[in-house]
Structure 1
């Protein structure tokens, strides 16, 4: 019998980017969030339940926000679950401009939910209300709402690209995927997780926008490498397969090239950190939280059931994606 070749792809991080995940709270956020989502009609079918089990949104939160206030883990677990479940529902289809605006407005929770709101819109409104109750400013909630609206608009762009008759280029797919990773929003949620907002003038600086863009780019790279087999089964484009086709490479060679692009992109962060720290020395806590999140989102891919430890690719090879970190730190609480 022919032997199967197992290839490792490694995403590496300096020790300063690694932290132990947040501890498990006494009240299990995974089960508590599940009960709330069921009551709102978001978890309404066996398929939804299966997606929720595979996602393990609570683990993403604990890995991405290691210094999170523990009582806030459940809220962000619900947030990510609502987001991921709606993403699955609109993937390949997108939403109308009106729907995008309604969902973004709902999470600002500046008024009552709209009449006839669907379970997702109602959930966004309830999450926004809990942000307000936690003391998050109206300006911060407007940033979250604007980013959520932008993300919904991006699902339309990605859906249109998946329907193209001609082969997608790597540049086209990266541009589309950067819009739908949602990492700019995930980075903005650092402020809720840690109970501390950036100064408004800092949040508006170009370095923060550049960090958001970098976060979207990095997630495009490692999410598609972690999910190449999953996307192939679901008939979806993926940067690995797109790169392999465009450059006449094997899937493993394409995955290695993307990992190298990731390493090069990550090197842009220190320069952005230095520039932002010079403008606002008090944002050092946020910059460290960004480092933890960049590494944490990759580490979460390793442990949640949604992604496979070893992927069998279409060409018969097997791919194992690993995250290599130095000694993890214990963040202050």
Structure 2
């Protein structure tokens, strides 16, 4: 392993680049109101039971509306509070079960609660199931269809079923290899239900054919991978302290390189995913309409969703940089500290400047 000396201590900037048209600023006033709604709901639903829990999940430590409003910057203001509740409760439960998992029947009970189905055999709901049931009631009251409720319920059930990172921490006495870990994290990242929320935020649903189209599924898969790049870059110190695997640390171990060089490899991977998404958004497919695409190959029926899914990508990344639990600027175990950030690029200018971005090569 390279020992850091002298200039190796200089902060290394790691920039996640996105096309400028993908960015859209959220409304700070909406964020403030939605944060307040989420915190009042946290208390009303008994999500934070102790002083320690209330401190850990206070607005000074986590701002749930930042996640929703940055991910859905053009979403309806009156729906951002519900999105914030969803993401806050999910974060709290994830923290509770990260090292223990859930009982085998729990994923189905989550799906049933969201869909408004009764608990099996009269079993009482725990505080998290009560929250899922309350959110499902809100979705129905706001006009979301049974079909959409079934889909987001299924997405959440799938997330609860996937093994958490601790399951891979010491598999067979070894840390997971980077590609094995990448495969797991792109499944259990939680991006499917998070991106499902986009339709609720805009009060507009995809048809079954549109949701099943190769275009939309490609965006979902790429979203999981972009999240993986962002999350693990800003979680290196946190994951190390928690004894959890991390893609950057895995690359360091496998290749005997510095953390900065490993982060650079992840940056290249991020750029390649962005490049593929640019092509996906440009083509657009027929959106399941069965006919030819509209201007530029994008079907009019799907254009709204593709536009908002574009905004989701840098918004999701920036929401992580604003969260106290992550470290956009952090010292590394070896080598220089890393400063992770986002920026926009003009492809021609980026090529001339020689930026390390696969999408611009």
- The alignment's TM-score, normalised by the length of structure 2, stands at 0.85
**CA–CA separation in structure 2 for the residues paired with 1:159 and 1:230:** 14
The change in CA–CA distance for 1:93 and 1:36 in structure 2 (over 3 A counts) is: same
Distance 1:266 1:316 in 2: 27
Greater Cα shift, 161-170 or 111-120: 111-120
Ranges of 4+ aligned residues in structure 1 off by more than 4 Å: 111-114
1:36 equivalent among 23, 35, 41: 41
Which deviates further from its counterpart, 226-235 or 124-133? 226-235
Q: Does the 8 Å contact 2:108/2:157 carry over to 1?
A: yes
Aligned partners of 1:222 and 1:259 also within 8 Å: no
- The 5-angstrom pairing of residues 117-136 of structure 1 reads 117-136=125-144
Shift of 1:193: 0.3
Deviation at 1:105, TM superposition (A): 1.9
Do the aligned partners of residues 275 and 35 (structure 1) sit closer, same or farther apart at CA in structure 2, a change above 3 Å counting?
closer
2:113 to 106, 112, 117: 106
Aligned pair 1:49/2:58, yes or no? Answer: no
Matches within 5 A, 1:17-32: 17-25=22-30, 28-32=33-37
CA offsets per residue over residues 297-317 of structure 1, 9 Å max, x none? 111122222222410111263
Q: Which residue of 2 aligns with 1:276?
A: 285
- The answer (yes or no) to whether the contact 2:116–2:133 under 8 Å persists in 1 is yes
Question: Number of matched residues?
Answer: 326
Q: In the alignment, does 2:87 pair up with 1:80?
A: yes
Equivalent in 306, 315, 331 of residue 312 of structure 1: 331
Instruction: Judge conservation of contact 2:99–2:164 (CA < 8 Å) in 1.
Output: no
Instruction: Check 1:250–1:26 CA distance in 2 against 1; reply closer, same or farther (3 A cut).
Output: closer
SS in 1 for 2:99: coil
Residue matched to 2:16? 11
Q: Which runs of 5+ in 2 are unaligned?
A: 287-292, 347-361
| In 2: Cα distance, 1:166 partner to 1:42 partner | 36
Aligned 1:202-213 pairs, distance under 5 A: 202-213=210-221
Q: Give the gaps of 5 or more residues in structure 1.
A: 328-333
Kept after mapping to 2: 8 A contact 1:48/1:85: no
C-alpha separation in 1, matches of 2:105 and 2:29: 39
Q: 2:257 aligned with 1:252, yes or no?
A: no
Task: Choose between structure 1 and 2 for higher RCO, CA contacts under 8 A separated by at least 6 residues.
Answer: 1
CA-atom RMSD, angstroms? Answer: 2.1
Conserved? CA contact 1:302–1:322, under 8 Å: yes
Q: For the residues of structure 2 that align with 1:166 and 1:95, how far apart are their CA atoms?
A: 24
Measured in 1, the distance between the counterparts of 2:75 and 2:53 equals 27
Give me the whole-angstrom Cα distance separating, in 1, the residues matched to 2:102 and 2:210. Answer: 32
Equivalent position of 1:298 in the other structure: 317
Q: 1:219 pairs with 227, 230, 248, which one? A: 227
In structure 2, how many angstroms separate the alpha carbons of the residues matched to 1:216 and 1:192? 19
Residue number in structure 1 paired with 2:350: none
Shift of 1:281: 2.3
Query: 1:45 deviation in Å?
Result: 2.5
Pairing of 1:147-162 with structure 2 (within 5 A): 147-154=155-162, 156=163, 158-162=165-169
Provide the residue aligned with 1:166 in structure 2: 174
Q: Which residue of 2 aligns with 1:70?
A: 77
Cα deviation, residue 51, structure 1:
3.5
